[in-house]
Amino acid sequence: MSRDPAGGNGRALSVLVSSTFAFTICFAVWMMFAVMGIPIKKQLNLSETQFGLLAAMPVLTGSLVRVPLGIWTDRFGGRIVFFILMLSTVIPIWLMSYATEYWHFLVLALFVGLAGGSFSVGTPYVARWFPANRKGFAMGVFGAGNSGSALTKFVAPALIAAAGSWVIVPKVYAVAMLVTAILFWVFSATNPAHNVPSTVGFMEQLRMLKDPRVWRYCQYYSVVFGGYVALALWMTKYYIGEYGFDMKLAALLAACFSLPGGVLRAIGGWISDRQGAYKTTWWVMWVCWVAFFLLSYPQTNFTITTVNGPQTFHIGLSPTLFTLLLFVVGIATAIGKASVFKFIADDFSDNIGAVSGIVGLAGGLGGFLLPILFGMALDLTGVRTSCFMLLYGTVCVSLIWMHFSFRAESVAEGQKALASKAA
């Protein structure tokens, strides 16, 4: 760990633990419509597309604010930005329990969604407390706060069952957010040396965003993070519709995806530190490609003519096999989220906040658009597995882009090496 003069190992560890805990609660709040949205959908008689929009609305603002939050973290420090961000969401979360119309939920969800911007605050804040060879692991541990998605799937159904209504969930979450903000302030720390000097202007911070590598990482992250968020929002409802499970069981099985997708991000950081960001991300995409191909196949009955007459066969994933494949996807996306940010830490170590903000924005927008597209595809086709068909297409784009971009870079580096030898 870092031995900086203003901190030391103890302070770095305290920052990491307090930030990870705070991010876990923020992510749980960000994903609360994954469970709470199901009784609201029934109460308001929403279509699949309307449900997708409702579930994704917090993701929109949580994504759009990531760039300014990352830049403000570079400028003012992560501790104060993180603290103010958490406090700003407490009242909107509480007011959610009094909403009665669809538009009420949409508007309040925009403000609640600010909690999702915490990722672009915590990532640079935590990373700067650790040396280069530990940044991937440190950011992976912080990113394990994505497990807040699984936390919601355990806590929200229990609260709804105990109170007999979904309105208890926002009230409990508002109190939890307030307590978390106070605990974070007490146990976190500040090091002014980590801030970008005031002589560095806003446009100078954004100048590196013209680098094509940033946009490449945006596309990768829109798959591993955007896909993760979208599925975390969608899977509870998917289990209910596809297999007829009740909410508690559906949420529990959906957590088999959400939990490894969050907790194992630290393992992804460790692997990326040792194997490199490119190799790790490449294998993540291939695993997702195979898994999404299998998950895309709908429940199918077909009849063939045999010598003994017509014979009917059924092809489809059982709940057990489906959950197992989803678990594999959760592990892959956890590792992939860490490996993408290892790219950023390696290539843009002096401006992690701004770059992680734009990459986080791309991933968040993926998480916003995909649930809406899931709902639209289901309304249009009636095929529930259409959500995985869409994700399969996004992975194909990533694999093709990775192949050609890194191949071109390797060729350029080889030509440069040959030219230097010839000289």
Domain residue ranges in the chain:
9-195+205-422
- With a CB cutoff of 8 Å and minimum separation 6, the contacts of 173 are 28, 29, 32, 93
Residues 339 and 263 sit within 8 Å (Cβ to Cβ): no
Q: Which burial class, exposed, middle or buried, applies to 15 when counting CB atoms under 10 A from its CB (0-12, 13-18, 19+)?
A: buried
SS3 304: strand
Q: What is the spatial distance between Cα 337 and Cα 265, in angstroms, rounded to a whole number?
A: 7
Model pLDDT for residues 197-218, shown as the tens digit of each residue: 655 555 665 676 677 888 888 8
Instruction: Write phi, then psi, for 196 (nearest 5 degrees).
Output: -70, 135
Find the distance separating the first CA and the last CA of the chain, reported in whole Å.
42
Q: What is the spatial distance between Cα 321 and Cα 298, in angstroms, rounded to a whole number?
A: 13
pTM of this structure: 0.79
In DSSP terms, which residues pair with 310 in a beta bridge? 305
Q: What is the pLDDT of residue 95?
A: 95
pLDDT in tens, the chain (423 residues): 444 444 457 888 899 999 999 999 999 999 899 899 999 999 999 999 999 999 989 989 988 888 788 878 888 888 999 999 999 999 999 999 999 999 999 999 999 999 988 988 988 898 888 887 777 778 778 888 888 888 998 899 999 988 889 999 999 999 999 999 999 999 998 888 777 665 555 566 567 667 788 888 888 998 998 999 899 889 999 999 999 999 889 999 998 888 887 778 778 878 888 888 888 999 999 999 999 999 999 988 888 988 888 999 888 899 999 999 999 999 999 899 888 888 887 877 766 767 777 887 888 888 899 999 999 999 999 999 999 999 999 999 888 988 887 765 544 444 454 455 555
Closest CA to 35 of 224, 169, 173: 169
| Amino acid at position 224, single letter | V
Kindly tell me the number of DSSP H helices and DSSP E strands found in the chain.
19, 2
HSE toward the beta carbon, residue 387, CA cutoff 13 A:
28
In DSSP terms, which residues pair with 409 in a beta bridge? none
Q: What is the spatial distance between Cα 106 and Cα 109, in angstroms, rounded to a whole number?
A: 5
- With a CB cutoff of 8 Å and minimum separation 6, the contacts of 266 are 137, 140, 141, 143, 144, 338
Cβ neighbour number for residue 37 with a 10 Å cutoff: 27
Q: Rg for the chain (alpha carbons), in Å? A: 22
Angle between helices 132-143 and 9-30 (to 10 degrees): 30
Q: What is the pLDDT of residue 90?
A: 96
Residues 343 and 277 sit within 8 Å (Cβ to Cβ): yes
Q: What is the pLDDT of residue 70?
A: 80
Cβ neighbour number for residue 422 with a 10 Å cutoff: 6
Residues 37 and 51 sit within 8 Å (Cβ to Cβ): yes
Closest CA to 145 of 160, 126, 132: 126
CA angle, 67 then 68 then 69, to 5°: 90
Q: What is the spatial distance between Cα 44 and Cα 20, in angstroms, rounded to a whole number?
A: 35
CATH of domain 9-195+205-422: 1.20.1250.20
CA distances from 271 to 147, 303, 344 (A): 19, 47, 15
| Amino acid at position 347, single letter | D
CA angle, 322 then 374 then 110, to 5°: 120
Instruction: Write phi, then psi, for 129 (nearest 5 degrees).
Output: -90, 0
Q: Which burial class, exposed, middle or buried, applies to 285 when counting CB atoms under 10 A from its CB (0-12, 13-18, 19+)?
A: buried
Q: What is the pLDDT of residue 327?
A: 94
Q: What is the pLDDT of residue 413?
A: 46
The alpha carbon dihedral of 53, 59, 62, 65 has a sign of negative
